[in-house]
C-alpha cells in the first residue's frame, strides 16, 4: 500500500537548519509531483512548497522563499525539505503529500525554540 513517512523533525534553535525527509513506497514516486504542507499548532493548513515529478520545477510560498528548498531523489524514492534560518513561526507539523492522489504522510513536528 502507499506509504509516505516523514522524518527529521525535532527541536531546533532559531536561526539553525534542519532537513526533513519523506520516504515513499507503494507507488511510482518518480511519476508524481509532491508538496510539503505544514500546520502550526491549533492552526490551519499552509502550503509550503511543490516539486514536479522530475525535479525540474520547484515553487515555494513567500513565507519560506529564500530559506527553504525542496528537492527529491527519485532513485531513493525520497522527498526532502531543507530548512535554513528557522524562525519561531516555522513551528508546525510538516506533511509531505501528493495532494491530487490523496497520498499523505503522518507528519513530522518541527519546533523552533531557544
Partner 1 sequence: QAVVTQEPSLTVSPGGTVTLTCGSSTGAVTSGHYPYWFQQKPGQAPRTLIYDTSNKHSWTPARFSGSLLGGKAALTLSGAQPEDEAEYYCLLSYSGVFWVFGGGTKLTVL
Residue with smaller CB distance to partner 1, 65 or 87: 65
Q: Taking CB under 8 A as the rule, does residue 50 contact partner 1?
A: yes
CA gyration radius, the chain: 13
Residue with smaller CB distance to partner 1, 12 or 48: 48
Give SS3 for 8.
coil
Q: Taking CB under 8 A as the rule, does residue 46 contact partner 1?
A: yes
Grid coordinates representing 6 are 516523514
Rounded to whole angstroms, the Cα distance separating 14 from 68 reads 14
Give SS3 for 62.
coil
Q: Taking CB under 8 A as the rule, does residue 37 contact partner 1?
A: yes
Q: Taking CB under 8 A as the rule, does residue 107 contact partner 1?
A: yes
Rounded to whole angstroms, the Cα distance separating 83 from 64 reads 9
- Residues of span 3-32 touching partner 1 by CB under 8 A: none
Binding site for partner 1 (CB under 8 A): 35, 37, 44-47, 50, 59-62, 95, 97, 99-102, 104-107
Amino acid at each position: 500500500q502507499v506509504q509516505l513517512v516523514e522524518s527529521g523533525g525535532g527541536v531546533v534553535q532559531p536561526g539553525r537548519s534542519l532537513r526533513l525527509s519523506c520516504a515513499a513506497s507503494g507507488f511510482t514516486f518518480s511519476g508524481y509531483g509532491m508538496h510539503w504542507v505544514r500546520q502550526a499548532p491549533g492552526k490551519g493548513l499552509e502550503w509550503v512548497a511543490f516539486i514536479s515529478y522530475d525535479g525540474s520545477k520547484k515553487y515555494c510560498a513567500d513565507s519560506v522563499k529564500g530559506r527553504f528548498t525542496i528537492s527529491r531523489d527519485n532513485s531513493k524514492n525520497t522527498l526532502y525539505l531543507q530548512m535554513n534560518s528557522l524562525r519561531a513561526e516555522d513551528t508546525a507539523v510538516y506533511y509531505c503529500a501528493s495532494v491530487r492522489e490523496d497520498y499523505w504522510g503522518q507528519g513530522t513536528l518541527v519546533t523552533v525554540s531557544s
